[in-house]
Structure 1
Amino acid sequence: MATFFLVIIYLAFISLGLPDSLLGVSWSLMQSEFGALLETAGLLFMTIAGGTIISSFFSGAVLNRFGTGIVTFFSCLMTAGALLGFHFAPSLVWLFICAIPLGLGAGAVDTGLNNYVASHYKAHHMSWLHCFWGVGATLGPVIMAQFISGQQSWRSGYLAIAGLQFVLVVILFFTLPLWNKVGGNSNVNATIELENTNSTFYGADAENHKPIQIRGVKLALISFLFYCGAEATMGLWGSSFLVNVKDLSVDVAAKWVSLYYAGITIGRLITGFITLKIGNRTLIRMGQIIALVGAALLLLPLPSTFSLVGFIMVGLGLAPIFPCMLHDTPIRFGQKHSQTIMGYQMAVAYTGSTFLPPLLGFLAAHSTIGIFPFVIAGFIAIMLWGSEKLNAILNRNELIRVENNNSTVI
């Protein structure tokens, strides 16, 4: 039953990813239909992400009150209704109105399912859970491209995605009794798993500090901020860059962006297996370097084929970073404060998704969308810098811990 129910959770995360990439690939057509400015897409994206931040902030109390199953059901119902609203939207104002429940529903589903899997399933399922988000984010542009390349409009693409969401809502409704039953039978949780690993708590002095004062926490927050900024900016503005700078058609650009999300998806699927052999810190560093090389390919004046390779490399590079940083939180900073610090990280991550993509839209509107690869490379470079500075602190703490242990033995 636990395995069957895990499939339901994966389906829910696929549905969570489906709408995330729709706005970026359809905006070129939406912009002309509504007579909107280029940077309006950034404001819409910021509205969605703002709703996600709010629902994530209050999700703890809501989940404790109603349970993960009920919250997931109503949140998916909310997002399905919002996508249907996008299909019928008569004006730009209605897009902003529908963006609010879309963000609120997505934040509650994201937080609830992450917490449920962390509590009731083994750790490698975290990477696979985010892999299935990538499945949805990959399918979204593919589905939309089928409509905008034919005789139908972007509205038909939103209608199709809304239909898929409503199918999930029906499935969730009939599986509501399973949430507590599976949760009650699960005997694996994050605490047991952490105790059985060979990992070391590097933040050994954390017990005497408030969470935000623990050495390295602020650097971790920087990494989360610019990771989500890079990932979201690639998805939102990648298509506009390919259309306006690389002279690709809208439908071809949409398919190329889907390959970027495919890189994230495949990368996270592989990461679930690699984590059994390679540590999180190594995977994070490797991913950041690969993503930086991919961004460099977008920077260089090379044929458009290299841009496709760059998009895929950035996706593959970003793939292991987010789930590995989340999973490493109690190892970096200790179990006592890990839940609080996890909340900080998620809030900052959504802040990066909210404000950094619109920032590029604002800059591009006053210059050119050609700055896109420079901004992406800058975000990844700052993330790498913060991560390596944090590793230096962790290594120093580990050295002190070893020296203290040796002194005690002597």
Structure 2
Amino acid sequence: MYLLLLAIIYLAFISLGLPDSLVGAGWPVMHEDLGVPVSFAGGVTFIIAVGTIVSSLASERLTRRFGAGLVTTVSVVLTAVALLGFSTASQFWMLCLWAVPYGLGAGAVDAALNNYVALHYTARHMNWLHSFWGVGASISPFVMSLALSADGNWPAAYRTIGLLQVGLAAVLLASLPLWQRVAAASPGESTGEAASSEATAADGAAGSARGHVSLRTALRIPGVPSVLLAFFAYCAFEQTAMLWGATFFVSDRGFDASTAASFGALFILGLTAGRFLCGFFADRVGDRQLIRGGFLLGAVGATIVALPLGQVSFVGFALAGIGAAPVYPAVIHSTPANFGRANSQAIIGIQMAAAYTGTTIMPPLFGLISGRVGLWLLPFYLLALALLGLVMTERLNRLPRGRSEVAKPR
């Protein structure tokens, strides 16, 4: 029963990834059809990210009241409705309208599931779960590429992914009795991955019984500001690459929209493959080495993209994705060890807010800057974010681990 619940969580991560790369893959054609400048993509992602921040901050309260299963199901339904709404949009303001439920659906379940896995499962499951997010995110660009190569019909891609989300929502809805049975059962043993009987309380999802740690108190814990800046930089790196990669290959390197969408998908493919492979050795290598190596390889990939290598530059984009692969799951998984289990739920929630702030601010900022300077700036922008993340995590690594007594929950 517990392994089946873990499989449901894997399915939920696929559903989280499905919509994430659609806007970036289709925007080279979408902005022309909608009659808006290319930089307006940042406006859509801004609205989505704000909704995600709001719902992620409310996720602990929602999960405690309604249970992780119902929150996850409703979130997937919201994203499905939003994607089907995107497929009907004929004007830019319609995209902005449907971006609201899109963002709200994406955020509510994220912090709770991530903290649950960080507390009760090994690093390999954290990597594999985020690899399954990448599976979802990798499907979308190819669906968009097929739609664009057929007749430029980008709404068909949104409709297809929306219907896939409807199917996933149906599976999650059918699984609700399983979540309830697992929550009701509290045996003293686990599946072999959980650390304690707390892990069986799936609807608690994140140790919600622990006390509240205020934002001010959390920021006073040594290392928290550093990890927040590192997570900000990483998520800005990831989202900027996904959003602007295809447009960069069209406008700066001269590829057609269909080819560029496929090249843009290489970042997500690298992300997905890298997380899957990291799952096999993450427990041996450790979170710190995975984070350090990830930022370094991401910087190398961005440097290769910056070089005038023609079509070979897509290799750099793939390397950047492979490098980025272990950073997100390793930062989340290391939170209980870095700051103490009692503080992990609060700090992971704040990390999510920092992550979504990065995805909210930095991709639109690049859109504004590139509108004046040019899209050639993309690899240098990504390189700066990778180096910022590396510096901040190295600063964190110099501090002692397990600072669980620094901040008392209150």
Instruction: Answer whether contact 1:76 1:109 (CA < 8 A) is retained.
Output: no
- Structure 2: distance between partners of 1:19 and 1:130: 15
Q: Structure 1 residues 257, 148: closer, same or farther in 2, change over 3 A?
A: same
1:353 paired with 2:330, answer no
Based on CA coordinates, which of the two structures has the bigger radius of gyration?
A: 1
Q: Matches of 1:364 and 1:375 in 2, distance apart?
A: 10
Amino acid at match of 1:368: G
SS at match of 2:263: helix
Seen in structure 2, the aligned counterparts of structure 1 residues 6 and 337 have a Cα distance that, compared at 3 Å, is closer
Deviation, 1:115, is 4.0
Matched with 2:239 is 232
> After the TM superposition, which parts of structure 1 deviate over 6 Å for at least 4 consecutive aligned residues?
none
Residue matched to 2:47: 47
1:20 aligned residue: 20
Provide the rounded CA distance (Å) in 2 between the counterparts of 1:273 and 1:349.
26
2:340 aligned residue:
334
Please report the RMSD computed on the Cα atoms of aligned residues, expressed in angstroms. Answer: 2.1
Q: Distance between the aligned counterparts of 1:157 and 1:40, measured in 2?
A: 20
Q: How does 1:360-399 map to 2 (within 5 A)?
A: 360-394=366-400
Judging by fraction of residues, say which structure has more helix: 1
Residue matched to 2:97: 97
Deviations 1:84-124 (A, max 9, x none): 00001131111101000000001013234324444664443
Consecutive unaligned residues in structure 2, runs of 5 or more: 199-212, 404-410
Worse overlay, 138-147 or 105-114: 105-114
Asked if the contact 1:80/1:163 (under 8 Å) is kept, the reply is: yes
Is the alpha carbon distance of 1:322 and 1:40 closer, same or farther for their aligned partners in structure 2, counting shifts above 3 Å?
same
Q: 1:354 to 1:328 in 2, by over 3 A?
A: same
CA deviation map 1:184-241 (0-9, x unaligned): 35745876499xxxxxxxxxxx9xx932112211111110000000000000001111
Q: Post-superposition shift, 1:293? A: 0.6
Q: Quick one: which amino acid aligns to residue 269 of structure 1? A: F
* 1:178 has 2:178 as partner: yes
TM-score (norm 1): 0.89
Name the amino acid aligned to 2:375: I
Structure 1 residues 182, 123: closer, same or farther in 2, change over 3 A?
farther
- The answer to whether the 8 Å contact 1:122/1:193 transfers is no
Hey, what's the Cα distance between the residues in 2 that align with 1:109 and 1:235?
22
Does residue 296 (structure 1) correspond to residue 322 (structure 2)? The answer is no
Residues 302-331 of structure 1 deviation map (CA, whole Å, 9 limit, x = unaligned): 2221x1110111001010111111111121
Match of 1:198 in 2: none
Q: TM-score, normalised by structure 2?
A: 0.89
For the residue of structure 2 that corresponds to 1:221, the secondary structure is: helix
Q: 1:229 to 1:193 in 2, by over 3 A?
A: farther
Aligned equivalent of 2:159: 159
Q: Structure 1: where are the runs of 5+ without partners?
A: 195-205, 398-410
* Contact 2:122 2:283 (8 Å CA) reproduced: no
Identity %: 43
Query: Where does residue 222 of structure 1 map in the other structure?
Result: 229
CA contact 1:16–1:109 (8 Å) conserved in 2: no
Distance 1:330 1:246, change over 3 A: same
Aligned counterpart, 1:65 = 65
Amino acid at match of 2:4: F
How far is the alpha carbon of 1:338 from its aligned partner? 2.2
Indicate conservation of the 8 Å contact 1:142/1:255, yes or no.
yes
| Aligned residue number for residue 128 of structure 1 | 128
Distance 1:113 1:217, change over 3 A: closer
Structure-1 residue corresponding to 2:168: 168
Residues of 1 paired with 2:330 and 2:120: CA distance?
A: 18
